[in-house]
Amino acid sequence: MYSEKHRSSIEDPQQFWAQAAEGIHWDKRWSRVLDDSEKPFYSWFPGGRLNTCFNAVDRHVDGGRGEQTAIIHDSPLTNSQRRISYAELLEAVALFAGALADHGVEKGDRVIIYMPMIPEAIVAVLACARLGAVHSVVFGGFAANELATRIDDALPKLVVSASCGIEPARIVEYKPLLDQAIELAGHKPRHCIILQRPQVAAKLLPERDIDWNDAVASAQRHDCVIVDATDPLYLLYTSGTTGQPKGIVRDNGGHAVALHWSMKNIYNVDPGEVYWAASDIGWVVGHSYIIYGPLLHGNTTVLFEGKPVGTPDAGAFWRVAAEHKVACMFTAPTAFRAIKQRDPGGELIAQHDLSALRTLFLAGERCDPDTLHWAENKLGIPVIDHWWQTETGWSIAANCLGIEMLPVKAGSVGPAAPGWDVRALDSQGRDVKPGDVGAIACKLPLPPGSLTGLWQAPEHFRTAYLNAFPGYYETGDAGFIDEDGYIHVMSRTDDVINVAGHRLSTGSIEEVLAAHRDVAECAVVGVVDELKGQLPLGFLVLKAGVDRNHDDIVAECVKMVRDQVGPVAVFKRAVVVTRLPKTRSGKILRSTMRKIADGEDYRFPATIEDPAALEEVGTAMKSIGYANPSASE
């Protein structure tokens, strides 16, 4: 059944996506499904007109389901919970859209949203969509200079923010960061609407800043503005952006069709069920599967203001899933590795009734087989690793449970999802043999829901994604496709290392290290070697309670890699660290770690979660003889 669906989506994409588009309300049907007149730029459903907010909120209320819960806000950081029905969400969104309109926001204007994980952030996003304005969510608490870069690229008419965000050990005041960003930026937004949270009262500037409650109190409900299917819905800047910004552009029509289709066909949830993506609205997962996907499909979405460990312990996820009867959960493997490290025996899982939880999906960082098996064994449900990117907006590869449950292969993200023609290519753009590592690329046109370009930068779009392999989208990931068509994403393309002429994926070595009984999490980077070209260097985070000699653990890991990958890997060195440096979305900063090892200048990425972790890694490298330059500003 899956194979038939996938084949039809590739052989006749127009018919396939026309059928999927029937799940969306159109104010005017499209003139054609796919416009390929300006290759390699494509557009979906030209001529069609709709409003994404109407599809995500109004139509559920109009259909008699206004009393159903739309959003569950669960915040262990403030010890509070809040349920918002679709009818209540509609009222809040329509009023805030009116407030935005009162302050000059119109169709096509950009609005930056710089907020924590609170329901008002979703209200602001949907209010922009209601007006046909283009929202750009920036991760709450992002550094002022990075926010300024996004302000100067998006040129927003208005910024929506809050007085603060809350972390387990501190309160992060947003307003001083926002003020500094606007001071640094060449473009000056006309207004900022600020939600005052009880924890901190922000100082508002006369003429520019408006209190959220005051803005809403004087507003009238605003109707949906109908837009073209090809009009932009949002911009999302990729994490770690430096130099020229990369603002991913998502359209209205194709985006609504793809996300609505994915909720049943990939995640196998029905309208009314509770779906939880444990991510942040600042990332693409939050856009697609905290906000738009669940609401377009009529699900209840969970908005979690907390952490997988520490709010209050490694059982936080199980408490949320049990209390709210979550049917399908989606999070990053790094969250599970953190939980596994703190609670390796899974005792906290047994304290909660997870009978409603049918499936767990993982994405955002390669999931090692050991973590996947741990989750399977402790939860007793299917655990599905799947793969997608900020640029694609939804799954490139997945075990599509709503179509057919296929066998799970640990270490693989499953076969290509319908709509995606995925290849592993050599440097000349030729298909490599099954099992051989190549650059993973997707044949054009990309399906609906994927990026339509970069904001105001068509040539940058070409050079970043389209030029390396003409006729394909270059994912930047490396891996292989096996005989069964399952895709194995092993590493980023620049993490394929060349050891004495042999191309090796750092992911294949990490897979072995993660299977060691004492290792909770690991990373491998390729470092310069005068004789071999590059050599792999491993970093090991141990499970809680492990007190064995570190040298013995490293020696065992070296032997495991030699036995399972082979002497060709020349894996001889690893160090134990307490944590790995990561972005806030959970990606390990391998590129930065490699620069430290090679003695190159580096800068702290704007998205780093814990700068001290990077400093610890640098100290560990220095202890075994690798270079350790200072970070540049």
Q: Are residues 61 and 205 in the same domain?
A: yes
Give the model's pLDDT for residue 26: 98
User: Which 8-state DSSP code applies to residue 350?
Assistant: G
Q: Are residues 157 and 74 in the same domain?
A: yes
Reported as a single tens digit per residue, the pLDDT across 544-573 is 999 999 999 999 999 998 888 777 778 989
Reported as a single tens digit per residue, the pLDDT across 124-154 is 999 999 999 999 999 888 888 889 999 999 9
Residue 259 falls within a domain, yes or no?
yes
Give the model's pLDDT for residue 357: 98
Give the model's pLDDT for residue 506: 81
β partners of residue 155: none
Q: Are residues 445 and 547 in the same domain?
A: no
Tell me: pLDDT of 240 over 60: no
Tokens of 498: 């060349």
Checking DSSP bridges between strand 49-50 and strand 34-38, what pairing results, if any? unpaired
Residue 426 falls within a domain, yes or no?
yes
**CA–CA distance, 415 with 429 (Å, rounded to integer):** 21
Question: How many other C-beta atoms lie within 10 A of the C-beta of residue 93?
Answer: 26
The mean per-residue pLDDT over the stretch 492-521 comes to: 77
User: Which 8-state DSSP code applies to residue 35?
Assistant: E
Give the model's pLDDT for residue 197: 98
Q: pTM, whole model, 2 decimals? A: 0.84
Q: Are residues 542 and 438 in the same domain?
A: no
The mean per-residue pLDDT over the stretch 429-456 comes to: 96
Residue 91 falls within a domain, yes or no?
yes
Residue 319 falls within a domain, yes or no?
no
Q: Are residues 301 and 152 in the same domain?
A: yes
Largest CA distance in the chain: 71
Residue 336 falls within a domain, yes or no?
no
Q: Are residues 529 and 470 in the same domain?
A: no
17 near 257, Cβ under 8 Å? yes
Alpha carbon separation from 570 to 19, 185, 204 (Å, rounded): 52, 48, 59
For tokens 């999927």, the residue is 20
DSSP 281-296: TTSHHHIIIIIIHHHH
328 near 273, Cβ under 8 Å? yes
599 near 542, Cβ under 8 Å? no
Give the model's pLDDT for residue 239: 52
Reported as a single tens digit per residue, the pLDDT across 170-197 is 999 999 999 999 999 999 999 999 999 9
**CA–CA distance, 394 with 266 (Å, rounded to integer):** 10
The mean per-residue pLDDT over the stretch 36-57 comes to: 97
Give the model's pLDDT for residue 618: 87
* Last residue of one domain, picked from the residues 448, 479, 510: 479
Q: Are residues 528 and 414 in the same domain?
A: no
CATH of the domain at 538: 3.30.300.30
Residue 318 falls within a domain, yes or no?
no
For tokens 């029937």, the residue is 22
Give the chain's count of helices (H) and strands (E): 20, 32
Q: Quick one: what percent of the chain has pLDDT higher than 90? A: 76
Q: Are residues 511 and 434 in the same domain?
A: no
Q: Are residues 244 and 129 in the same domain?
A: yes
Q: Are residues 391 and 449 in the same domain?
A: yes
Tell me: pLDDT of 494 over 90: no
List the domain range (segments joined by +) for residue 58: 2-306+386-479
Give the model's pLDDT for residue 359: 98
Reported as a single tens digit per residue, the pLDDT across 475-489 is 988 899 999 999 999
Q: Which residue has the higher pLDDT, 514 or 232?
A: 232
Give the model's pLDDT for residue 242: 41
Residue 326 falls within a domain, yes or no?
no
User: Which 8-state DSSP code applies to residue 39?
Assistant: T
Query: Which stretch of DSSP H or E encloses residue 178?
Result: helix 174-184
**CA–CA distance, 53 with 223 (Å, rounded to integer):** 10
User: Which 8-state DSSP code applies to residue 33?
Assistant: S
Q: How far is CA 382 from the centre of its chain?
A: 21
Tell me: pLDDT of 224 over 50: yes
Q: Are residues 439 and 507 in the same domain?
A: no
Q: Are residues 444 and 588 in the same domain?
A: no
Residue 315 falls within a domain, yes or no?
no
- Please give the mean pLDDT across all residues of the chain: 92
* Last residue of one domain, picked from the residues 479, 508, 535: 479
CATH of the domain at 115: 3.40.50.12780
**CA–CA distance, 1 with 415 (Å, rounded to integer):** 13
Comparing 70-74, 437-441, 623-627, the range with the smallest average pLDDT is: 623-627
**CA–CA distance, 174 with 172 (Å, rounded to integer):** 6
Number of domains in the chain: 2
Question: How many other C-beta atoms lie within 10 A of the C-beta of residue 573?
Answer: 16
